[in-house]
Structure 1
Amino acid sequence: MSETMSTEPPPTEPQPADAVEDSNHNNNDEARDAPGSPPLPAPHTAVTPGPRAARLQELFATSLTHTLNKISWENLAACYPTIAANSPSLLKGVRQTMVERLETMCKREFERIMDNRAVIPKLNELESLVSEAIRRRESAPAGTEPPTPPHLLPPATVLQAHLSRPLTASQSHLNAKLQNIQAENERLFSEIQAQRAEIANLASALERVCADVDAANGLLREVIDEVAAEAREREVEMAAT
């Protein structure tokens, strides 16, 4: 490997006062024009890792340590013998910085993958499933045939197993909706019955009023002729006087 590392950084030229002032002015303008910061994400809730999740984390830590140990002083000195001979402290500092940065980046990426994939909750759920399977196997009566492996089940059984939970939730929702509709129908039926009873009462009262009017008309027919003759006589008398 060729020696490409330099021992000293290149010198930087001083900037004029006007350039520094213009740069600060531009930075202030950019800070004013920058949009508001986005809202903070929801706080992360830590999940206690189970045995499998803890073992995965231990395996990652062991593998990372084993990998970083490959960047040893001996291997790095063999790649850069001149720098190792003339400036060993500089090369050791570079190695230490490289190892620490790689370790930080690997751990950050590992944690990001663990969070995005929800590895710990899923492994904990697997722990629960395994524990439940062991409990069922131990509590099964003697002579019970072992269950059929999932890969040997017929398609209809597998489909039913996958759809049972959402179908149960949908059925519960529909049952609740049906009960609400039935209660509303009963309320409307009671209201209609009350309105029908009120209509019947009003019709009976109207029939009684019509009967009273007919009776009054019958009584008036008996005296209407006498009243008309008397009225005509009164008119004649008034005309004569």
Structure 2
Amino acid sequence: MNPNSRSPSPVPAAPVQESPGIRAAGLINVFNTAIKSTLDKCSYNSFAACFPTTAQYKPDVLDDVRRQLTSQLEHAWKNNFESILAQRNVVQSLNSLDQYIDDARTRKKKAEVEAEGGVVEPPVPPHTLPPSQIYLAHLMPFLEEHSKQLNTQLTDTQTANTELLSTIMAQRAEIEVLVQSLESVIHDLETSAQMMGEEDVQGLSAEIRELESEMKK
């Protein structure tokens, strides 16, 4: 194997379920069975043997005391056990172990199918890989996710730039239309001014000719 070649990025692990899986449920069942077996040994006869006088004169009271004691013990043991499970993340850890085992079985079946009855080559032990491959195997998922985020941001920026360019082009076209309209209005005003100027000059010339005619008379 080329020490400089990159190993394929590992598939991201599936989310670990919060409810007890196979092994966590098995552990809880074993604990509950152990509690029941222990408390069952504290029967009335065994308890009465420790308090013969009370058992002789107040058997009902003694039985109530035994029931309360066993109930409190069961409640305290279960609370302590649940507290340990929560503090140590036992359920999540055992669920992760279930996932690892299921993943290993799936990989094994896939390798057997791909081998088509041939010899299935065992995977390379991680401790035999060079540090560069182990480093990249842990780093590549982060880099790939970061690359996806950057590509998404780049796509969003390009889309925003395209929309902005379209807006600018539309505004420029609108400005050109307005300029053309203004130029047309100015041209009309200039033409009107010229026509008005010519009429004034012609009227003035007619008045001068009339004055000249009167002066000649």
TM-score, normalised on structure 2?
0.58
CA distance in 2, matches of 1:189, 1:96: 82
CA distance in 2, matches of 1:128, 1:64: 29
1:86 counterpart (42, 47, 53): 53
CA distance in 2, matches of 1:227, 1:104: 121
| Aligned-residue offset at 1:190 | 1.4
| Aligned-residue offset at 1:111 | 3.2
CA distance in 2, matches of 1:70, 1:151: 50
Percent of residue pairs bearing the same amino acid type: 33
- List runs of 5+ in structure 1 lacking aligned partners: 1-44, 78-83, 236-241
- List runs of 5+ in structure 2 lacking aligned partners: 1-16, 212-217
CA distance in 2, matches of 1:148, 1:70: 52
| Aligned-residue offset at 1:184 | 2.7
Q: Which residue of 1 aligns with 2:102?
A: 131
Equivalences for residues 33-182 of structure 1 within 5 A = 47=19, 49-50=21-22, 52-64=23-35, 73=46, 77=50, 84-88=51-55, 89=59, 94-114=65-85, 119-140=90-111, 141=115, 142-143=118-119, 145-153=121-129, 157-162=133-138, 168-182=144-158
Q: Select the structure with the greater relative contact order (CA < 8 A; seq sep ≥ 6).
A: 2
Q: Deviation per CA, 1:94-144, whole angstroms, max 9, x where unpaired?
A: 455333321221123323444566544542342232122122123313455
SS of equivalent residue, structure 1 residue 123: helix
SS of equivalent residue, structure 1 residue 148: coil
Q: Deviation per CA, 1:165-214, whole angstroms, max 9, x where unpaired?
A: 55555544444444333333222211211111122222233333334444
Letter of the 2:104 partner, please give it. A
TM-score, normalised on structure 1?
0.54
SS of equivalent residue, structure 1 residue 87: helix
SS of equivalent residue, structure 1 residue 106: helix
CA distance in 1, matches of 2:94, 2:207: 112
Residues 221 and 198 of structure 1: is their aligned pair in 2 closer, same or farther, counting only changes over 3 Å?
Answer: same
Residues 94 and 164 of structure 1: is their aligned pair in 2 closer, same or farther, counting only changes over 3 Å?
Answer: farther
SS of equivalent residue, structure 2 residue 103: helix
